[in-house]
Structure 1
């Protein structure tokens, strides 16, 4: 007879590898769930009290047992390893850092992305250390997330960064400082490190100990592989982005052939948006001030740029990280596609080149048919970003979806260039505005970022939850189409009566797959007249029966998809047409579970206890849990656990109320169960890949759906904006004529009337009287007009412009060594070279950066040149001699009351010969003594 305490003591003395302690990695890292939890802890108290309370010995031991990565044990820190360490405990190659070419950090040629480790030094490392440093040496400026079991670990300098930024606690392990977090919070930490300006390299395990055992792999450590490197400019997962805007990497290739002079540049560029898997392309000749490149950098959020060599001038206007690249002879990229070669090389370095296979190519040259807005106009008109956070885009954006917002941004940056397109959009907005669109909006909001989610699947980075979400959203899409079908039934019937105007949607859908692989014209994606928009999604059947083309195709596709794959809560279940392998494995799993049940019943009878059950603790599954009070009673009375039984029961863990055992039979069956689970896991992986491939057969359909829904979202947003602004529908006219016009962004500003009598208006008046505000208001309303939206006015008649230029304000450019006056002249020169007789030019106080005489002469000469070009011009000035020129003249009205100037902010026809600068000085609080002296000088010299 054995006492239970003696039995437990005997079992506890067995080798550790015979059983597993209940302490697990999950318990050690339980407090390190997410950045929010970490940051909250750091503000409330000492972060060290909330993270990894176990000492390093326990950590090492637990990692060895739970991960079975035996080379990481401290016993491996033998004399061979120590020879590679300096007395301070760090590696020699970290003491004297050099890049792969032997350059030190002080060298101008130093490559911060690489670390030199000699082959001999690499061989002296333990297998695990060698595995880590073999990767880290090629990505030395990148934070490496190294997968260990259910955790990601950071070592050495990366651990230091995590500790400094986020208060991770560092623990010494295997000669390396270490910090870590659970894999469940991976997305959170990627987002945090990216936001802090770091690149992330994700290293994953290729197998686990079960699959390793299945392959009969004799290696001591698990195989790992660098899966991807994520940079700020190549973020593909929408979970890692905090903006709905397109985030791009700019790729630049300078073509030095066929350059006529030294003051121009021939560029091929690509803008790669990894989150939507789109590549925007453009070829152009730029001037010496790089105005086209500036405009592109203003329109898009550029986080990185890639080029053959470093361009110092890009630092003047692109705040992005540079990555230089070299040609890859294996790419077979022609000289005309060097940009793609650069991008391919870079993505190959990031281990993500396969994602380029599914990219869409969009030609930015197609924008040339619309209203051109340069970088100065975008900034001066506050279209997208200002210090005061008030922008035109925020004003017009009522979109329900992120992909709709991106489409609307494109509408604003590329307004229409002809009245026909403007009128067509106005009519579309009017039609939609007459309908009840509340239910459409409600359902659209549930779509989230459908475009980025779909792109993630197409790029090969999608997971089960991503596919599940897309499939789930198809129900919402179908519902949206049904709502549209119902509310537009009258227009559909109108179209049926005039069926000759219909377009062949089937033909368009049929060749879209071919078009997708080529660079296509983005203007083809814009809707045309309203009946064609209806035709685009409606197909007329016999009689009054009608269906939406994309809706019908989507319904048919989902029916077909469910025959092959069914998406359930946490798994993909093979359908009738694809079920053989998984079904067999699942049946085998049922049989093993049945055997476990039989063992349990047998143990209940043997130990005479009905309360015995299985308990899973972490990785240790099917532990036989026996209540302690029953156990003692049985042992004392009946000697159930006899001498012959002690070798068949292995204590695994215990609590105050129970002990948990394995038997030889259970351990053997667990091994079978784990191998079967691994086979099911691998089969599910194959099934998922097949399910994704099958889903992507419909990618052309989803391109059309996303495009249709983004158009619809923008049109609904336009309806809401028009209702909010309470303005008027602008119309085309050869003469600019506006009444009660205000500033759309700042509605509280005084409204004005203006009817032109000459192409050029000279605008004078006091400082701060509202000249610049009037000009900005006109420009903003013109942009709204050419987008097809209403304007803030009671009447707005205007011609359609091809380009809108603004030269307003100036400051020196220290980086380029340019004075304020030089900046003014550079901008003016750009306008004079590119303006046409269909352009609108806004110039605010040209020449103020130099002497009065020189400034006035230059302003007069520029006006004469603009007159020759025959463009429309609004020219504000304080040079009162210019009012003698034979143009239209207006001034912003003021009045002097009580010795002070009162601004009325109203535009009046005529000339103002006094800028009232002395009165403005009084408003600024200039001392009275100086004011009086200034008045004397003014009267004396008639300034």
Structure 2
């Protein structure tokens, strides 16, 4: 270091404290990067890599980006999983003695992005910390762009995984000790693509944790936060604050008081269920369009969109809270004109949560304050529109809307209507706001007019009509005269510069006024900047009030979204109770019914309870609609517990504590698990955690292994769900194993249903209707024909199917499955077969599967036809 320049010594000293980050080192109008940082940044950003002392043996790699367009470059580095330390000049270069003082003012990481232009408006950007103790796991998350700061404590790692699925953080913090590293190893597949940072073990010590939290919030105890008896939760929250203070050097006054929540207060949705039900993203491409959120989200503000997304991930289980939200939706549905007016009034309200955060962190520009003003100006109309509503929820929302009249008046008086983006360009503050600024502006305006008048005077005095008074940043104001008129210049002209075809002069009078004008402009820009900072600081002191209004407007926007959708699609208010009953009449899938389908969507009924209809076995061919039906039951239940109306003619929803789904599967190569292992893991999770208040969706259990193994597992799972009183959850169980329909003969709460189809000329027509009774066939070959299998394959499949239906082996011991009319005949084996299953067994099995009490005449005719075909 002793051989480097003073500038590089300064760089190396600062870089030593931020070895894990790319250092953006401010030099004038650029952020420069050196050495390894430069090599890495040039590759990621696609910018030119050059060097300092180019050509020398000690040349230093160098690259840079303009500071005014740096956000895009920073966002790209963050997206690639890097941290960026922003090092600014913290003193005026004009006043500096020697090297300009520089400091890192903040570190940008994936979980601490503050540039809202690079974030999804309707999604939170969470930083999350996990702490493990004997008492459980603490989970704390913060969105620095909104100030939301929450914490919980859970008992199992599965619950940690569930929270990770709900919150989808961009960055995770862990203790660097053995416990923290063990947690990371256990949930490593869920952390794929996330930045993980380890914090020093001492920062999780109990004494430090309590001191840290009390100091940050200015309290003497943690009782008001409701987590004083949750040691792991306290550790996680303290870890978040520790990391914030290490990376953010400015004010954090917008961070809300720590909010403790309990997962048991909400419906539990594991990652598999969120994925299978496509709550916020589709399975196919991960897009919002085509998901439940894509249907429900009609919010007009970014903060409303984030609130609605949160509601979907955290459905309510408290009946009173559900009904309170539902009553608000109902009132907004009924009052259509007021609803439309409220939506129009909300439309155009900027993201107050993120504006507030930028103001509190002193990163807001004049455009942001202008957006704050225009948003706050809409509040009185919203307040008036809400006045007639009587539901508890809407009245409470109105009570939380703070009109902030003093702040609105200040911003209206101080900030111009269309301010520039760059603060140092001036033109931010309105005339009449500050007397000194007005005087300086007068001098500037009059000075420019005076100089224009001076040019005319000098033309007349000298008789040179081409004389010009000009200005540049190097020489200031000067008089320019072409060479052909040099013999006519007045005696008091002082030569300043010689050009190829002209000369530049100054006069004592011109320089005197120049000092006055330019001095005024410089003072004017500095004064405007200082006035703006004072106004921004005043707005920052109202952070809590702005935040409160933002939360209220976000909830209102989410409720309006649900009401607008309910009105347009004729949704109904479900009956909510604790009965354990789910009864839906003419239910519809909220996403599928809105798709451009070739055929009209067919509604279906369902009745589930804990007495006679606990487990419904659903059979029928592929593509007939079994999965759509089961998913729509789950989605209607979830929507009801959001407080939303639902797509049905009527619905009664007994509150459920969890929704489980086992729908399809794929290999999990990251965990080294096959399709069948994934299926069994998910099934085991359901059997371990389901309760009698849960709703379970099972689709094709056991299909990932051999037929006999699959049937055995599916049968045993169904029995367990029925017979085990602690796990006797309401269940929809779709299967192609028709043998399972026999369960209804011996289990009182198991019922058979199937998706009706119609056969016509060896073709099938899907009727999409769920009817009582088990399906007699799977129609797999007909579905194969619809999919375009060659005719020869279809014909051979039919032949094999006839062989199967007649019994597995022929008398000679040859597998009947492989038999064919074209097969060469083999001499008869004299040894008797152990698998002599003949026509009688096939008839007997088919007859035993018939539920006469639930068989319609049409179904009886179909059964007789099947039996005849066996002959």
Distance 1:842 1:598, change over 3 A: closer
- Of residues 163, 170, 184, the one that matches 2:68 is 184
Note the 1:448-463 alignment, pairs <5 A: 448-463=350-365
- Given candidates 293, 297, 307, the residue that maps to 2:164 is 297
Structure 1's 532 and 917: CA in aligned 2 closer, same or farther, altered over 3 A? closer
> How far apart, CA to CA, are the structure 1 residues paired with 2:245 and 2:3?
30
Q: Give the direction of change, closer, same or farther, for the CA distance of 1:923–1:636 in structure 2 (3 Å limit).
A: same
Q: Does 1:862 align with 2:740?
A: no
- Identify which of 576, 582, 590 aligns with 1:736: 582
Give per-residue Cα distances to partners, 1:62-104, cap 9 Å, x unaligned. Answer: xxxxxxxxxxxxxxxxxxxxxxxxxxxxxxxxxxxxxxxxxxx
Q: Does 1:365 align with 2:261?
A: yes
Q: Secondary structure at the match of 1:296?
A: helix
Say if 1:253 and 1:308, in contact at 8 Å, map to a contact too: yes
Of 422, 425, 436, 2:322 maps to 422
- 1:284 corresponds to which of 145, 154, 162: 154
Q: Is the 2:676–2:704 Cα contact (8 Å) retained in structure 1?
A: yes
| Structure 1 residue 306 displacement after superposition | 1.2
**Secondary structure, in 3 states, of the residue corresponding to 1:415?**
coil
Q: Tell me the distance in 1 between the aligned counterparts of 2:475 and 2:154.
A: 64
The change in CA–CA distance for 1:356 and 1:594 in structure 2 (over 3 A counts) is closer
For 1:843, the equivalent position in structure 2 comes to: 698
Deviation at residue 203 of structure 1 after TM alignment: 2.5
Q: What is the Cα deviation at residue 805 of structure 1?
A: 1.3
- Please state whether the residue corresponding to 2:2 is helix, strand or coil: helix
Assess if the C-alpha contact under 8 Å between 1:381 and 1:780 holds in 2: yes
Distance 2:516 2:26 in 1: 26
Q: How does 1:430-449 map to 2 (within 5 A)?
A: 430-433=330-333, 434-436=335-337, 437-449=339-351
Q: How does 1:370-519 map to 2 (within 5 A)?
A: 370-386=266-282, 387-388=284-285, 389=287, 390-433=290-333, 434-436=335-337, 437-482=339-384, 484=385, 488-489=387-388, 491=389
Matches of residues 396-795 of structure 1 in structure 2 within 5 Å?
396-433=296-333, 434-436=335-337, 437-482=339-384, 484=385, 488-489=387-388, 491=389, 530-531=391-392, 533-534=394-395, 537=398, 550=401, 553-559=403-409, 569=419, 570=426, 605=458, 615-617=470-472, 619-620=473-474, 622-628=476-482, 632-633=484-485, 635-638=486-489, 640=491, 645-646=494-495, 649-650=496-497, 686-732=530-576, 734=579, 735-747=581-593, 748=597, 749-756=601-608, 757-795=612-650
For structure 2, the 5+ residue unaligned runs are 54-58, 211-230, 420-425, 809-841, 846-871
The answer to whether the Cα contact below 8 Å between 1:761 and 1:874 also exists between their aligned partners in 2 is: yes
* Equivalent pair of 2:589/2:632 in contact (CA under 8 Å): yes
Tell me, yes or no, if structure 1 residue 878 matches structure 2 residue 748. Answer: no
Is the counterpart of residue 210 in structure 1 residue 94 in structure 2? yes
Q: Is the 8 A contact 2:370 2:415 kept in 1?
A: no
The structure 1 residue matched to 2:677, chosen from 807, 822, 825, is 822
Q: Give the secondary-structure state (helix, strand or coil) at the position aligned to 1:408.
A: helix
Return the offset for 1:854: 4.0
Taking the aligned partners of 2:154 and 2:671, their CA distance within structure 1 comes to: 23
Please list the CA deviations of residues 818-868 of structure 1 after superposition, one character each: whole Å capped at 9, or x if unmatched: 343333333223223332222111112222334444443443343333231
Task: Quote the residue 1:332 is aligned against.
Answer: 208
Question: Cα gap change, 1:602/1:378 in structure 2, threshold over 3 Å: closer, same or farther?
Answer: closer
Q: 1:198 to 1:442 in 2, by over 3 A?
A: farther
| Correspondences of 1:153-164 after superposition (within 5 Å) | 153-156=32-35, 159-160=38-39, 164=43
Report the CA distance shift for 1:532/1:241 in structure 2 as closer, same or farther (over 3 A).
closer
SS at match of 2:310: helix
Q: Residues 153 and 180 of structure 1 are in contact (CA less than 8 Å); yes or no, is this contact kept in structure 2?
A: yes
Instruction: Write out per-residue CA displacement over residues 311-356 of structure 1, whole angstroms, 9 at most, x where no aligned residue.
Output: 1233312331111221466993246533244334433443x05454
- Residue 571 of structure 1 and its aligned partner are, at CA, apart by 5.8
Whole-Å separation in 2 of the counterparts to 1:808 and 1:449: 38
CA distance in 2, matches of 1:155, 1:661: 44
* Structure 1 position 745, deviation (Å): 0.8
Which structure 1 segments of 5+ residues have no match?
A: 1-121, 259-265, 496-529, 539-548
Partners of 2:754 and 2:771 within 8 A in 1: yes
Q: Kindly state the Cα deviation for residue 378 of structure 1 after the two structures are TM-superposed.
A: 0.9
Describe the shift of the 1:845–1:600 C-alpha distance in structure 2 as closer, same or farther (beyond 3 A).
Answer: closer
For the residue of structure 2 that corresponds to 1:125, the secondary structure is: coil
Partner of 1:147: 26
> Does the 8 Å contact 1:624/1:660 carry over to 2?
yes
CA contact (8 A) 2:254 2:543 kept: no
Aligned: 1:314 with 2:187 = yes
Asked if the contact 2:619/2:734 (under 8 Å) is kept, the reply is yes
Are the aligned partners of 2:480 and 2:503 in contact in 1 as well (CA < 8 Å)? yes
Select which of 72, 95, 113 maps to 1:235: 113
Match of 1:109 in 2: none
SS of 1:889's equivalent in the other structure is strand
1:659 and 1:787 map into 2 onto residues whose CA distance is 79
Give, in angstroms, the shift of residue 402 of structure 1: 0.3
1:909 maps to what in 2?
772
Query: Matched residue of 1:738: which SS?
Result: strand
Question: Equivalents in 2 of 1:847, 1:742: separation in Å?
Answer: 28
- Aligned to 2:377, the other structure's residue is in SS state helix
- What is the alpha-carbon distance in structure 2 between the residues aligned to residue 208 and residue 676 of structure 1? 19
User: What is the deviation of 1:595?
Assistant: 8.1
Give the C-alpha shift of residue 138 in structure 1: 4.5
Deviates more, 1:405-414 or 1:145-154: 145-154
Aligned equivalents of 2:382, 2:50: Cα separation in 1: 54
Shift of residue 379, structure 1, vs aligned partner: 0.8
1:247 match: secondary structure: coil
State the secondary structure of the residue aligned to 1:384.
coil
Say if 2:101 is the partner of 1:223.
yes
- Work out whether residues 764 and 891 of structure 1, in 8 Å CA contact, stay in contact via their aligned partners in 2: yes
Q: 1:383 offset after TM fit, Å?
A: 0.5
Q: Deviations for 1:896-931, whole angstroms, at most 9, x for unmatched residues?
A: 443344433321101224333444445552734752
Does 2:122 match 1:244?
yes
Change (3 A) 1:858 1:671: farther
2:83 to 199, 207, 224: 199
- The aligned counterpart of 2:762 is 899
In the aligned structure 2, how far is the partner of 1:355 from the partner of 1:299?
A: 29
CA contact (8 A) 1:562 1:575 kept: no
Provide closer, same or farther for how the CA distance between residues 939 and 801 of structure 1 changes in structure 2, counting only shifts above 3 A.
Answer: same
Q: For 2:478 and 2:43, locate their aligned partners in 1 and report how far apart those are by CA, in whole Å.
A: 45
**Match in the other structure for 2:131:** 253
* Residues 207 and 677 (structure 1), Cα distance of their counterparts in 2 relative to 1, 3 Å cut: farther
TM-aligned CA deviation for residue 361 of structure 1: 4.3
Helix, strand or coil for the counterpart of 1:227? strand
Using a 3 Å threshold, how does the CA distance of structure 1 residues 472 and 660 change in structure 2: closer, same or farther? farther
Query: Residues 211 and 675 of structure 1 are in contact (CA less than 8 Å); yes or no, is this contact kept in structure 2?
Result: no
CA distance in 2, matches of 1:562, 1:921: 69
Check 1:205–1:832 CA distance in 2 against 1; reply closer, same or farther (3 A cut). Answer: same
Where does residue 753 of structure 2 map in the other structure? 890
Q: More displaced, 353-362 or 767-776?
A: 353-362
Distance 1:176 1:586 in 2: 49
Tell me whether 169-178 or 910-919 shows the greater mean CA deviation.
169-178
The answer to whether the 8 Å contact 1:344/1:353 transfers is: no
With over 3 angstroms needed to count, the CA separation of the structure-2 counterparts of 1:914 and 1:355, relative to structure 1, is: farther
User: 2:11 & 2:644 partners in 1: Cα distance?
Assistant: 57
